[in-house]
Amino acid sequence: MKRVLLSWSSGKDSAWALHLLRRDPEVQVCGLVTTLNSEFDRVAMHGVRRNVLEAQARAAGLPLWIVPLPWPCSNEIYEQRMAELCERAVAHGIDAVAFGDLFLEEIRAYREKQLAPTGLEPLFPVWDIPTDTLAQQMIAAGLRARLACVDSKQLPASFAGREFDAALLHDLPASVDPCGERGEFHTCVYAGPMFTEPVALETGVVVERDGFVFTDLLTS
């Protein structure tokens, strides 16, 4: 049995990776790895609150392995913190780290390079699935998510906070990937086959920062 940690962004792609990994009888998912911006206590890039992240982990029935990052954070510090995480994983008998990457070759190559010295195997369970097909599969299987962050240079700010559903896919500009893999948008998952129960979400304020539009998602 391969013991695996999953890189967990709080979004749909990592959630779907969890769903696929759990269907593999040779894999045991042992935890969710998330980088947190220590200044704001939110998931890096997505801007999702810690308590929403913790609610997701409870719904998935898995422990969180949180990697705290300063703000701002240099690449050197990021790599140092991730190296420490890998050392901890090896010490706990972890065999592999899985990622929800879809098709960006340079990101996959970077992850493979960083893991190579650690002995941990990189896994990419959703790799190279056509993103239009993947988006439809997720929605059909009951995955539910909200757009937590939008890159306003690639997608109108009005998309922030919207449901990731068939209507959204229909409305996306042709230049935007259906899964937002080029950073057009980031999601926060609140229901799906990877969870034992939905995470209750409420919409808070919408703010714009450095060209990104964040919807504050709240849970009790």
* Same domain? 143 vs 161: yes
161-172 residue pLDDT tens: 999 999 999 999
Q: What is the DSSP string of 83-109?
A: HHHHHHHHHTT--EEE----S-HHHHH
What b/e sequence results for 51-79 when a residue is b if at least 16 CB atoms lie within 10 Å of its CB, and e otherwise?
A: ebbebbbebbebebbbbebeeebeeeeee
CA separation, residue 138 to residues 92, 168, 192, 193 (Å): 32, 13, 8, 9
Residues 6+ apart with CB under 8 A from 162: 146, 147, 168
Say if residue 149 is in the same domain as residue 112: no
Q: Which of 181, 185, 172 is nearest to 145 (CA)?
A: 185
Instruction: Check whether residue 17 and residue 58 sit in a common domain.
Output: yes
**Dist CA 78 CA 179 (whole Å):** 25
Check if the beta carbon of residue 187 is closer than 8 Å to that of residue 215.
no
pLDDT confidence of residue 116: 96
**Residue 103 backbone dihedrals phi, psi, to 5 degrees:** -155, 0
15 with 57, same domain: the answer is yes
- Band (pLDDT 50/70/90 cuts) for residue 25 is very high
3-state secondary structure of 163: strand
Same domain, 72 and 150: no
Shared domain for 119 and 15, answered yes or no, is yes
CATH classification at residue 23: 3.40.50.620
**Which pLDDT band holds residue 125 (cuts at 50, 70, 90)?**
very high
Number of domains in the chain: 2
Tell me the average pLDDT of the chain: 96
pLDDT at 220: 77
Cβ proximity of 182 and 151 under 8 Å? no
Helices 131-140 and 12-22: crossing angle in degrees, nearest 10, is 70
Share of the chain above pLDDT 90, in %: 92
Whole-prediction pTM = 0.96
Would the pLDDT of 40 be above 90? Answer: no
**Where a domain ends, among 123, 156, 174?**
123
Let me know whether 147 and 198 are in one domain: yes
pLDDT in tens, 128-150: 999 999 999 999 999 999 999 99
Range of the domain at 144: 131-218
Q: Are residues 115 and 141 in the same domain?
A: no
Q: Which of 97, 123, 149 is the last residue of a domain?
A: 123
> What residues does 212 pair with on adjacent strands?
151, 209
pLDDT digits (tens, 9 = 90+) for 180-202: 999 999 999 999 999 999 999 99
Q: Do 76 and 151 reside in the same domain of the chain?
A: no
Question: Which of 76, 99, 123 is the last residue before a domain boundary?
Answer: 123
Q: Is residue 36 domain-shared with residue 89, that is, in the same domain?
A: yes
- 89 touches 121 (CB < 8 A): no
Please check whether residues 98 and 143 belong to one and the same domain: no
Distance, CA of 111 to CA of 113 (rounded, Å): 5
Do 156 and 107 have their domain in common? no
